[in-house]
């Protein structure tokens, strides 16, 4: 299988398993179990990245996990902004790190969102849950170069009103006239005035020309599968749809074998895949 998703910046040519030391500059609580950490390299070197790429973050003595970059690529510290859900030993330890704490950083790794390919097209950004975080650098990038894109729709689905990520920022984007923002939740009580329904229901409500649209999708795998199906139904081709996959990763450089998905190493050939390259990989059980 040829995998041709856009290649991001490469890591320095030293030992790919060796982390560099960074410090927590700022820690902000986004949701009950979600935190955003802004890091700073000890050597002061900024980390250049392309939207969609990820870093491997180490809590010394605890372990290392892949975390996508959620910062602004146009800003110096953007490559060291990470939004983390406290779900395991390492992510929990990361989420608890206070300002000044040391973090090991390797990266950035992997393929990126089609920021360039999407130029001249309408852009549909379909995000679910925490999937908004890896898409945020793409949103920043599109908004910063707004005139290069056609219509832009950001369609976001969350579990409930209390689990909407980056709420303040969403409010800012909602006020812009050059982006169509729609938010829906799966579950709500009647005091929620916003939309209720799965994120796919937003697709027919959005305005875009399916023939000239690039869609980027990020969220839980099952949400991406149904999101891709709904986009296809709306007339968007698989070759114009990009999804970001998640698998177990230990090395991030295609050597440890953990992240295999069919022929692909998700760390190296992904995480961003064009949907026609994924083919049936998402529908074969336990692949």
Partner 1 sequence: MNADRARTSQMITLEMDGLQALLDALAKRGYRVVGPKLRDQAIVYDDIASVRDLPAGWTDEQEGGRYRVTRRSDDALFGYAVGPHSWKRFLYPPIQQLWRARHKGSAVSVTPEPMPSERFAFFGVRACELHAIEIQDRVFMNGEMADPHYKARRANAFIVAVNCGTAGGTCFCVSMNTGPGVKQGFDIALTELVEGGAHRFVVEAGSDKGREVLAALPQRAAKPEETKAADAVVAKTASSMGRTMKADDVREVLMRNLDNPRWDDVAERCMTCGNCTMVCPTCFCMTVEDASDLEGLETSRSRRWDSCFTMDHSYVHGGSVRASSKARYRQWLTHKLATWVDQFGTSGCVGCGRCITWCPVGIDITEEVSAIRNSESR
Partner 2 sequence: MEGLERIVREHPFFAGLKEGFCQLISGCAKNVRFEAGQYLFHEGQAADQFYILRSGRVALEMSAPTRSLTIQTLGEDEIVGASWLVAPYRWGFDAKALELTRAISMDAACLRGKCEDDHDLGYEMMKRFAPVLIQRLQATRLQILDVYGTRS
CA distances from 1 to 111, 263, 272, 276, 279 (A): 16, 7, 15, 11, 10
The distance of closest approach from Cβ of residue 207 to partner 2 in the complex, given in angstroms and rounded to an integer, is 12
* Residue span 146-165 as binding mask against partner 2, x where in contact by CB under 8 A, dash where not: -----------xxx---x--
- As a whole number of angstroms, the distance between CA 181 and CA 154 comes to 5
Restricting to residues 116-145, name those near partner 2 by CB under 8 A.
128-130
How is residue 111 annotated by DSSP?
B
Tokens of 240: 């114009």
Among 84, 188, 249, 266, binds partner 2 (CB under 8 A): 188
Q: Using CB under 8 A, pick the residue from 99, 120, 220, 235 that binds partner 2.
A: 220
Given partner 1, partner 2, none, residue 60, with its beta carbon under 5 to 8 Å by kind, binds: partner 1
Least distance in angstroms from the C-beta of 34 to partner 2: 10
Binding status of residue 88 toward partner 1 by CB under 8 A: yes
Comparison of 100 and 193: residue with beta carbon closer to partner 2 = 193
Residue 64 partner contact from partner 1, partner 2, none using kind-dependent CB cut-offs of 5 to 8 Å: partner 1
In this structure, what are the phi and psi dihedrals at residue 81, rounded to the nearest 5 degrees? -105, 125
Asked if 240 and 210 count as a contact pair (C-beta separation under 8 A), the reply is no
Are 225 and 245 in contact, with CB atoms under 8 Å apart?
no
Distance between CA atoms of residues 57 and 155, nearest Å: 29
Question: Residue 214 forms beta bridges with which residues?
Answer: 123
Number of residues counted as binding partner 2 (CB under 8 A): 31
Q: Distance between CA atoms of 82 and 108, rounded to whole angstroms?
A: 12
Among 198, 234, 253, 256, binds partner 2 (CB under 8 A): 198
Per-residue tokens: 34: 């979600």
Distance CA 231, CA 208 (A): 11
92 binds partner 1 (CB under 8 A): no
Q: Does residue number 136 form part of the binding site for partner 1 (CB under 8 A)?
A: no
Stretch that binds partner 1, among 152-160, 175-183, 229-237, 242-250 (CB under 8 A): 242-250
- Positions that interact with partner 1 (CB under 8 A): 1, 10, 15-21, 58, 60-64, 85, 87-88, 91, 100, 102, 104, 246-248, 250-251, 253-258, 260, 262-263, 265, 268, 284-287
């Amino acid at each position: 299988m040829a995998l041709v998703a856009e290649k991001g910046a490469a890591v320095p040519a030293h030992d790919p398993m060796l982390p560099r030391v960074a410090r927590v500059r700022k820690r902000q609580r986004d949701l009950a179990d979600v935190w955003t950490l802004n890091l700073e390299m000890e050597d002061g070197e900024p980390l250049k990245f392309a939207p969609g790429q990820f870093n491997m973050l180490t809590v010394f003595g605890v372990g290392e996990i892949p975390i996508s970059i959620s910062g602004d690529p146009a800003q110096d510290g953007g490559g060291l902004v990470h939004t983390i859900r406290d779900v395991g030993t390492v992510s929990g330890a990361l989420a608890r790190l206070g300002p000044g704490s040391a973090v090991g950083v390797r990266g950035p790794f992997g393929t990126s969102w089609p920021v360039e390919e999407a130029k001249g097209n309408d852009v549909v950004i379909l995000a679910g849950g925490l999937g908004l975080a890896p898409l945020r650098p793409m949103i920043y990038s599109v908004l910063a170069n707004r005139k290069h894109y056609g219509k832009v729709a950001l369609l976001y689905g969350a579990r409930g009103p209390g689990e909407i990520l980056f709420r303040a920022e969403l409010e800012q984007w909602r006020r812009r006239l050059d982006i169509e923002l729609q938010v829906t939740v799966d579950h709500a009580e009647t005091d929620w005035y916003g939309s209720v329904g799965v994120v796919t229901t937003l697709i027919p409500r959005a305005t875009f020309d399916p023939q000239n649209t690039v869609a980027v999708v990020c969220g839980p795998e099952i949400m991406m599968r149904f999101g891709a199906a709904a986009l296809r139904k709306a007339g968007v081709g698989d070759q114009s749809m990009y999804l970001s996959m998640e698998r177990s990763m230990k090395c991030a450089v295609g050597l440890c074998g953990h992240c295999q998905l069919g022929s692909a190493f998700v760390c190296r050939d992904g995480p961003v895949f064009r949907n026609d390259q994924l083919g049936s990989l998402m529908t074969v059980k336990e692949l």
